[in-house]
Amino acid sequence: MGDMGVVVGGLRLKNPVVAAAGTFGFGAEYGEILDPARLGAVCTKGLTLRPRDGNPPPRLWETACGLLNSIGLQNPGIDAFIREELPRMREQGITVIANVWGNSPAEYEQAVAILSEAGVDAIEINVSCPNVSRGGPVGEDARRTARVVRRARRVCPVPLWVKLPPAGGIAVARAAQEEGADAVSAVNTFRGMAIDIETGRPVFANVVAGLSGPAIKPIALRIVYELAGALMIPVVGIGGIDDWRDALEFIMAGAHAVQVGTANFVDPLAAARIVAGLERYMDEKGIEDWEVIRGSAQR
């Protein structure tokens, strides 16, 4: 039997399947039906220095093969997370990646310093949320991204991943790499919208919302392929991964690991199912290490 484990930007995962930020809570919600410690890691809901109520409803809207969301980073804040969620996650044996968002480079720095001190296994800074910043996410601009990553890196002794938006391009990913990111996660949701034809008005108060799910998979795959070909640091593939075959495509595109998001809402067992599917695949093909097939599409 091959080794499902993988090291991604300094973080050792028991398998390459991670629950994506904002789609798995803090793992507790899923604890009744699956053991979250079975997954490579759990990415927390996006955390901010202070608690946030998020955006006004509606916050979710189904589209053909996809989901639009405008949650707006509702979360209990990092203090409550450290007090109430982190100890339980640790007890359950979950590998914890804290997803962090800030209003400014200084806020990112402060949040990263506190969280890495509190004993999370890694930090994923989210410079790609489409639902909270006017003028587009920081991660669509290489200079702004560099500033955030530099400040975060200075205070972050644990592995630091940077979660990119689909529209950032290679320049932004390179900026993250140059400032010391250990890995990039690609991608966050795509900016989309919906209109209520009864009122003639946008469905979401912010007009724009984030599109995820199977609808984005081929585009996310292309982005991951391009990033993996251009960067020295590992890429974590995200976008519309529904089963183990999707996960395998991302690995063959060059991803060291994958994250499963919207699929968790459709089937709470999705991430565990993907782990089992990859395990079977590895066994049947007699693959000893992910390295054998990682990036096969690049060669």
Ligand X SMILES: Cc1cc2nc3c(=O)[nH]c(=O)nc-3n(C[C@H](O)[C@H](O)[C@H](O)COP(=O)(O)O)c2cc1C
Q: What share of the chain is helix, strand, coil (3-state, %, to 5)?
A: 40, 20, 40
Based on CB atoms, which residue is closest to ligand X, 63 or 92? Answer: 63
Nearest-5° Cα angle at 141, 110 to 151: 20
Is residue 129 flagged as an active site residue? yes
Which position among 22, 102, 139, 166 is part of the footprint of ligand X (CB under 6 A)?
Answer: 22
Is 221 a binding residue for ligand X by CB under 6 A? The answer is no
Is 98 a binding residue for ligand X by CB under 6 A? The answer is no
Give the shortest CB-288-to-ligand X separation in angstroms.
Answer: 28
The one segment of 14-22, 133-141, 145-153, 172-180 that binds ligand X by CB under 6 A: 14-22
Is 166 a binding residue for ligand X by CB under 6 A? The answer is no
Site for ligand X in 55-84 (CB under 6 A): 67, 69, 71, 73
Site for ligand X in 103-162 (CB under 6 A): 126, 129
Q: Residue with the closest Cβ to ligand X?
A: 22
Is 48 a binding residue for ligand X by CB under 6 A? The answer is no
Based on CB atoms, which residue is closest to ligand X, 213 or 295? Answer: 213
For residues 44 and 85, the answer to whether their CB atoms sit within 8 Å is yes
Beta strands in 111-200 (DSSP E): 122-126, 160-164, 183-186, 190-192, 195-196
> Is the dihedral angle over the CA atoms 112, 113, 115, 116 positive or is it negative?
positive
Q: Cα–Cα distances in Å, from 75 out to 103, 145, 250?
A: 14, 23, 29
Length of the chain (residues): 299
Do strands 190-192 and 195-196 pair parallel, antiparallel, or not at all (unpaired)? unpaired
Site residues for ligand X per CB under 6 A: 20-23, 45-46, 67, 69, 71, 73, 99, 126, 129, 163, 188-189, 212-213, 216, 238-241, 260-263
> Which residues are the active-site residues?
129
